Chain A
């Protein structure tokens, strides 16, 4: 807590001369410019169109590779949205938003990877042919 909030003080010390962290950031950091929104929009359109074309046209010819590629595009588009639409950066709220995001992403990855991992092994081990083998 103290280390992070001190970091927040240092970061915005030049903005409001240290009389309270996060002061005035709602007017400073949370909006983008017209250019930001348009950049985000154009990138999003491209990053949405390519996966749809890849899947609908079966361009790559291999479902497995297509799956991995479109997952990559999704991650890229999520990052684009975070930066250009949600205006995420490491400085907003003295770093607390990015910290909450990292914590949430950690939980999301544990939830998704953990569920798949556990249930895959459960399914495999509960297959009828394994019952008499083991």
Chain B
């Protein structure tokens, strides 16, 4: 990768005083063809991570699709799912998506305090989402619909739980970035991190569209 930088890396001070060392900008690196790679490749790399995450969810959706009707004489989605609660949950996530969008717009303008306010609002909507989901899980387990009850419930808890875990970790990430922005301001590094989290957050909303349609709505239909 960094073939152009090797002369500088082998240089030992005092050994070859006559040799002039080409000044290599330490932040610049080149690929095998000598093409300059801008810092923006972080976004592409993060996008590729999201795509690999998408494959994890695809596997979990496929599992749910295959075993989602194996109730083992236990409760079916129709008995368990509370659609008004799911609708409320969905709106929480949707609101958090738009408020994160507002944070990004304020970041463009460079308004630090408004970025923090919108990030905080996003975090609260995220917490509401996770809270409602935990309430739902608690309610289900209380009714005896535990993950061990049937293949349907195992697949359900794995799929929805994995999504909830992603949102929870997204909230941890959000709080971390709020601390970073508070400490260092809207420096380019923080802007890049906020953009990555923005993609992560919107991506989770996209996954949730699949969850509420495929698991909850379709589940109640059958």
| 0/1 string, B186-217, CB within 8 A of A gives 1 | 00000010010001001101100110111001
A74-B213, A116-B62 are known contacts. Are A82 and B40 too (CB-CB below 8 A)? Answer: no
Cα(A48)–Cα(B210), bound, Å: 11
Asked if A101 and B43 make an inter-chain contact with CB atoms under 8 angstroms apart, the answer reads no
Asked if B221 and A66 make an inter-chain contact with CB atoms under 8 angstroms apart, the answer reads yes
A67-B218, A85-B101, A100-B48 are known contacts. Are A108 and B35 too (CB-CB below 8 A)? Answer: no
Cα(A40)–Cα(B94), bound, Å: 10
**Quick check: which of B52-60, B124-132, B137-145, B170-178 contacts chain A, the rest being far away?**
B52-60
A22-B41, A41-B94, A116-B66 are known contacts. Are A30 and B205 too (CB-CB below 8 A)? Answer: no
Interface size class of B (residues with CB under 8 A): 35 or more
Cα(A120)–Cα(B112), bound, Å: 54
Asked if B209 and A37 make an inter-chain contact with CB atoms under 8 angstroms apart, the answer reads no
Q: Name the one of A25, A114, A116 contacting B40, with C-beta atoms under 8 angstroms.
A: A25
A107-B58, A111-B59 are known contacts. Are A55 and B217 too (CB-CB below 8 A)? Answer: yes
A71 within 8 A of B: yes
Asked if A21 and B35 make an inter-chain contact with CB atoms under 8 angstroms apart, the answer reads yes
B72 vs chain A, min Cβ distance (A)? 15
Residues of A within 8 A of B54 (CB): 104, 108
List residues of B (29-51) whose CB comes within 8 Å of A's CBs.
35-41, 43-44, 47-48, 51
Q: Is the interface of A mostly helix, strand, loop or mixed?
A: helix
Residues of B within 8 A of A86 (CB): 199, 202-203, 206
| 0/1 string, A90-108, CB within 8 A of B gives 1 | 0001001100110110011
A56 within 8 A of B: yes
Interface size class of A (residues with CB under 8 A): 35 or more
Q: Name the one of A52, A93, A111 contacting B217, with C-beta atoms under 8 angstroms.
A: A52
Residues of A within 8 A of B80 (CB): none
A131 within 8 A of B: no
A70-B213, A97-B44 are known contacts. Are A107 and B55 too (CB-CB below 8 A)? Answer: yes
